[in-house]
Chain A
Amino acid sequence: MSVRRLAENQPEAFAFTRENEAKCEEILRKYPEGREASAVIPLLWLAQKQNDYWLPKPAIEKVAQKLDMPFIRALEIATFYTMFNLAPVGRFYVQMCGTTPCLLAGSNAIKEVLLRRIGEQGKVTSDGMFSWIEVECLGACCNAPMVQINEDYYEDLTPQNFEKLLDDLAAGRPVKTGSQTGRVTSEPAGGLTSLTSLYGVDGRNGPLSTPDLNQS
């Protein structure tokens, strides 16, 4: 991690869309009167989502104004949490997990792909399609290695299927989220080894046929 500063080129202004204004109201209602400042993280998050996954200065100020707090308080939050991007990111924003389980399962190979195809961390490709960053554990360790692209997880990666995934995204072809090897959620990679009878006839159905726990 390094010192995080606001991006040099900033848009003139920021305003929540009508739907997001409504969402802001909904979020604010969750907090007692006089404690609206607690909504700073959800509101910054909403602003970031609306603004192509990065937080410009006017958005930070807007949120602070909305919550009646000094600008510096919102800036503190935005610079503290690395999930708030302070500079523009690519249309496909890849967060690659590099923590121990993923590393042991081969995330270094995934990183090489990223370095080769996209370039340095934090840099956006010239066509604006991709940027990537290495993050800490995203909690999908059984399916390591994995990346998060925008809001979706892509798991069980190998350099081959990851390259194909990037190609598909760039070409606008539909892609499969979750495991790229075809396994269902985080079941054992080689098929079910236990609870096979309880957990679906073919032993592969997983949660699609979750038994009704009230019976039996």
Chain B
Amino acid sequence: MNRLIVDGIEIDVPPEYTLLQACEQAGAEIPRFCFHERLSIAGNCRMCLVEVEGGPPKPSASCAVAVKDLRPGPNGEPPVVLTKSLMVKKAREGVMEFLLINHPLDCPICDQGGECDLQDQAMAFGFHSSRYIENKRAVEDKYIGPLVRTSMNRCIHCTRCVRFTAEVAGTGDMGATGRGEDMEITTYLETAMRSELQGNIADLCPVGALLPKPYTFKARSWELVKTESIDVMDALGSAIRIDTRGREVMRILPRINDSVNEEWISDKTREIVDGLKTKRLDRPFVRENGKLRETSWQAAFQAIAAKTGQAPPERIGAIAGDLCAVEETFALKLLMQSLGAVSLDCRQDGAKLDPSLGRASYIFNPAIAGIDEADGLMIVGSNPRKEAPVLNARIRKRWLRGGFPIGVIGEKADLTYEYNYLGAGPETLAAVAERPPAIMQKPIFLIGQGALAREDGRAILALAATAAHALGVVKEKWNGFSILHTAAARVGGLDLGFVPGQSGLDAGSLAKSGALDVLFLLGADEIAVEPGAFVVYQGTHGDRGAARADVILPGAAYTEKSGTYVNTEGRVQLADRANFPPGDAREDWAILRALSDVLGHKLPFDSLKALRACLYAVHPHLAKFDEITANDRFDIAQLAASGAAHTRAPFVSTIADFYLTNPIARASEVMAECSALAEGFAREAAE
């Protein structure tokens, strides 16, 4: 610890701290533009100047000076830093005046207005007026992709976007061409960025130069109501903030959650917004003579009751989709149980994960933050860049620090970091199990759905456990056995035991022609149901499920209900409601409760609170928010021993198109544009 005095306050800070961090710890506010906690230090905006007594007779950029570089006084007194002296005040005013020389005065028409660092800091630390009377420079606006709009006159060259794409995203899309007054921030010859995290540069931009394109001129920041929520686009459960105006979701921004998403979110999470408004199911429908007809809730329920009344319990089944909250999955499970049905499944993709093997067999045991302390990674049957881009950025962050060998079995894709490609399929995995490479202290064995969502998935899981066991992945104080899920609802569904009971059918068999009389689809759109069964679809969008349905019950999207989600680590998180479902659509648990009454098996709750009380009584761990319940002892040897024969088919990631993985994304025009672009890039790369 080094001692120093900041504005008369004595503090002790670690020697590797920068002056800026030390000043903040002492409670001093330091303005900054280029400095960002999660990016490298550039030191080019000069806004964070402070005075160091006994140092050089000029202000120092506090973001780029380390505490250990300060010298003590002649008699060993701690170094003195001033952040409010006259020198500092004048220096900041000077810097601000220079920054504003070329910055246009277009705040009234700038989307950043009201949440702009430059505005705020100009008010707090700036000079009262400008002495500059010459012409301002003009810079051409650039095309850098479908998600970020540029207004380059406003750019102050902090290079946060350049550092983000180079360091965090790993694609190196952005750069600064030219120099001096002619420096311009751009992508290579105005091509679109290729990162799945590119939307974050609009958040990073401290001025209005980079702005979210789909949000252009839609709203002002002070009109928006902000609701803290949880993302459902992938299984990470990133912390998000949903900004609404009236009933409309205007935008989605990340919240800081260091144990999950730090402060990034993927483009799908961010720009899904227009998908929440289009192709929505806003009233019940029944199919008559092959055509869907609008109807009332009561009539829809009657139609379902007529069919379920005739069907024997073993010919009734239910599939829960990828975006369901725990509450409605629980309600559906209770309803199915009361009907005597045992054919339930929450694994649309056919992943062979089984809750009876213990919770540790289907979650990301080391936790996402565990990647930071791991010393090796094996990726099996997964493409984390497509399946969880934010997690991929975390892996990249760890890889950049060095001493982190990565092996891949499965697809050979560009993951933004270097890895050792071992092979494509199960035989490579078997070889690893037989002859494990060097044993590490804290290895992570990441298994994707590409390895499990196949006919021999159960055998692959056992084989992976054998390999992980051989690699010493599970130890006394470290469990590196990790399943990376792709669906937000999956771990919650498995926690609830929403899987086939004794002699029940799994999702693949349920969808087969002639398997059932009545099939409930709770937002299940990723599975093709063959003709035969009477299909009840409860969901939000006119997508695959609705197209096949005989009765449609309009539900609420994730922004429109309060729901619990369990992410891939097993972390229980509660999402708040930000707006209301459109038209006659209702919250999903309430629909199931109303339906149960008509079916004659009234569910034992009348409010969400009562439902949750029931839920917590059965599954107490779901009441512990933001926690990962400690796992029962995980016997990897037992899992490994349960193996069976496997095929030789190579692993293929379950996500073919990152931008179109769920009904909301498929309804979004922005996602469609991104998808088309990505397809173009892929074709270009193949040539």
Report A's interface with B, CB cutoff 8 A.
1-4, 6, 57, 69-73, 75-76, 79-80
Q: Is the CB of B182 within 8 A of A75?
A: no
Contact flag A70-B173 (CB < 8 Å), given A6-B189, A75-B188, A75-B189: yes
Task: Report the Cα distance A2→B171, complex, angstroms.
Answer: 29
Q: Which of A4, A6, A57, A72 contacts B175 (CB 8 A)?
A: A72
Contact flag A1-B180 (CB < 8 Å), given A71-B188, A72-B188, A75-B189: yes
Q: Is the CB of A72 within 8 A of B179?
A: no
Q: Is the CB of B189 within 8 A of A70?
A: no
Task: Report the Cα distance A190→B497, complex, angstroms.
Answer: 100
Q: Is the CB of A80 within 8 A of B178?
A: yes
Could you list 7 further interchain pairs (A-B, Cβ under 8 angstroms) beyond the known A1-B181, A3-B178, A70-B175?
Answer: A4-B177, A4-B178, A71-B188, A72-B174, A75-B188, A75-B189, A79-B179
Select from chain A the residue with minimum beta-carbon distance to B179. A80
Q: Beta-carbon contacts of B166-204 to A below 8 Å, as 1s and 0s?
A: 000001111111111110101111000000000000000
Q: Which of B172, B179, B180 contacts A70 (CB 8 A)?
A: B172
> What are the residues of chain B within 8 A of A75 when measuring CB–CB?
175, 177, 188-189
Q: Which of A4, A73, A76 contacts B182 (CB 8 A)?
A: A4
Q: Is the CB of A70 within 8 A of B171?
A: yes
Min CB distance B219 to A, Å, is: 32
> What are the residues of chain B within 8 A of A57 when measuring CB–CB?
189
Task: Report the Cα distance A3→B138, complex, angstroms.
Answer: 11
Please indicate which of the listed interface residues A2, A6, A69, A79 has the most CB atoms of chain B within 10 Å of its own CB: A79
Select from chain B the residue with minimum beta-carbon distance to A6. B189
Contact flag A76-B172 (CB < 8 Å), given A1-B182, A4-B182: no
Min CB distance A137 to B, Å, is: 17
Select from chain B the residue with minimum beta-carbon distance to A80. B179
> What are the residues of chain A within 8 A of B178 when measuring CB–CB?
3-4, 79-80
Min CB distance A50 to B, Å, is: 22
Q: Which of B176, B180, B189 contacts A76 (CB 8 A)?
A: B176
Task: Report the Cα distance A48→B633, complex, angstroms.
Answer: 65
Q: Is the CB of B172 within 8 A of A73?
A: yes
Task: Report the Cα distance A57→B191, complex, angstroms.
Answer: 14
> What are the residues of chain B within 8 A of A80 when measuring CB–CB?
177-179
> What are the residues of chain B within 8 A of A76 when measuring CB–CB?
175-177
Please indicate which of the listed interface residues B171, B173, B177, B180 has the most CB atoms of chain A within 10 Å of its own CB: B177
Q: Is the CB of A70 within 8 A of B188?
A: yes
- The 7 residue pairs across chains A and B that have the minimum distance between CB atoms: A70-B172, A72-B175, A79-B177, A72-B188, A71-B188, A76-B175, A3-B182
Question: Can you give 26 contacting A-B residue pairs, CB < 8 Å?
Answer: A1-B180, A3-B184, A4-B177, A4-B178, A4-B182, A6-B189, A70-B171, A70-B188, A71-B189, A72-B172, A72-B173, A72-B174, A72-B187, A72-B188, A73-B172, A73-B175, A75-B177, A75-B188, A75-B189, A76-B175, A76-B176, A76-B177, A79-B178, A80-B177, A80-B178, A80-B179
Report B's interface with A, CB cutoff 8 A.
171-182, 184, 186-189
Min CB distance A141 to B, Å, is: 24
> What are the residues of chain B within 8 A of A71 when measuring CB–CB?
188-189
Task: Report the Cα distance A57→B177, complex, angstroms.
Answer: 14
Task: Report the Cα distance A73→B162, complex, angstroms.
Answer: 10
Q: Is the CB of A69 within 8 A of B172?
A: yes
> What are the residues of chain B within 8 A of A73 when measuring CB–CB?
172, 175
Min CB distance A147 to B, Å, is: 24
Min CB distance B23 to A, Å, is: 33
> What are the residues of chain A within 8 A of B177 when measuring CB–CB?
4, 72, 75-76, 79-80
Task: Report the Cα distance A76→B171, complex, angstroms.
Answer: 16
> What are the residues of chain B within 8 A of A79 when measuring CB–CB?
177-179
Task: Report the Cα distance A44→B301, complex, angstroms.
Answer: 72
Min CB distance A89 to B, Å, is: 19
Min CB distance B180 to A, Å, is: 7
Min CB distance A181 to B, Å, is: 37
> What are the residues of chain A within 8 A of B180 when measuring CB–CB?
1
Task: Report the Cα distance A76→B184, complex, angstroms.
Answer: 10
Min CB distance A107 to B, Å, is: 23
> What are the residues of chain B within 8 A of A69 when measuring CB–CB?
172
Task: Report the Cα distance A72→B166, complex, angstroms.
Answer: 11
Task: Report the Cα distance A69→B173, complex, angstroms.
Answer: 11
Task: Report the Cα distance A69→B170, complex, angstroms.
Answer: 11
> What are the residues of chain A within 8 A of B189 when measuring CB–CB?
6, 57, 71, 75
Task: Report the Cα distance A64→B181, complex, angstroms.
Answer: 25
> What are the residues of chain A within 8 A of B188 when measuring CB–CB?
70-72, 75
Task: Report the Cα distance A144→B115, complex, angstroms.
Answer: 56
Select from chain A the residue with minimum beta-carbon distance to B137. A3
> What are the residues of chain B within 8 A of A70 when measuring CB–CB?
171-173, 175, 188
Please indicate which of the listed interface residues B173, B187, B189 has the most CB atoms of chain A within 10 Å of its own CB: B189
> What are the residues of chain B within 8 A of A72 when measuring CB–CB?
172-175, 177, 186-188
Select from chain B the residue with minimum beta-carbon distance to A4. B178
Min CB distance B645 to A, Å, is: 42
Task: Report the Cα distance A79→B184, complex, angstroms.
Answer: 10
Task: Report the Cα distance A3→B177, complex, angstroms.
Answer: 9
Min CB distance B623 to A, Å, is: 48
Select from chain B the residue with minimum beta-carbon distance to A61. B188
Task: Report the Cα distance A149→B171, complex, angstroms.
Answer: 40
Min CB distance B280 to A, Å, is: 40
Select from chain A the residue with minimum beta-carbon distance to B176. A76
Task: Report the Cα distance A105→B176, complex, angstroms.
Answer: 38
Q: Is the CB of A2 within 8 A of B182?
A: yes
Min CB distance B531 to A, Å, is: 50
Task: Report the Cα distance A70→B189, complex, angstroms.
Answer: 12
Select from chain B the residue with minimum beta-carbon distance to A71. B188
> What are the residues of chain A within 8 A of B171 when measuring CB–CB?
70
Min CB distance B380 to A, Å, is: 27
> What are the residues of chain B within 8 A of A1 when measuring CB–CB?
180-182
> What are the residues of chain B within 8 A of A4 when measuring CB–CB?
177-178, 182
Task: Report the Cα distance A76→B173, complex, angstroms.
Answer: 12
Task: Report the Cα distance A131→B184, complex, angstroms.
Answer: 27
Task: Report the Cα distance A6→B184, complex, angstroms.
Answer: 14
> What are the residues of chain B within 8 A of A3 when measuring CB–CB?
178, 182, 184
Min CB distance A189 to B, Å, is: 36
Task: Report the Cα distance A57→B190, complex, angstroms.
Answer: 14
Please indicate which of the listed interface residues B178, B179, B181 has the most CB atoms of chain A within 10 Å of its own CB: B178
Min CB distance B421 to A, Å, is: 17
Min CB distance B44 to A, Å, is: 14
Task: Report the Cα distance A72→B174, complex, angstroms.
Answer: 7
Task: Report the Cα distance A130→B402, complex, angstroms.
Answer: 52
Min CB distance A150 to B, Å, is: 25
Select from chain B the residue with minimum beta-carbon distance to A82. B179
Min CB distance B596 to A, Å, is: 57
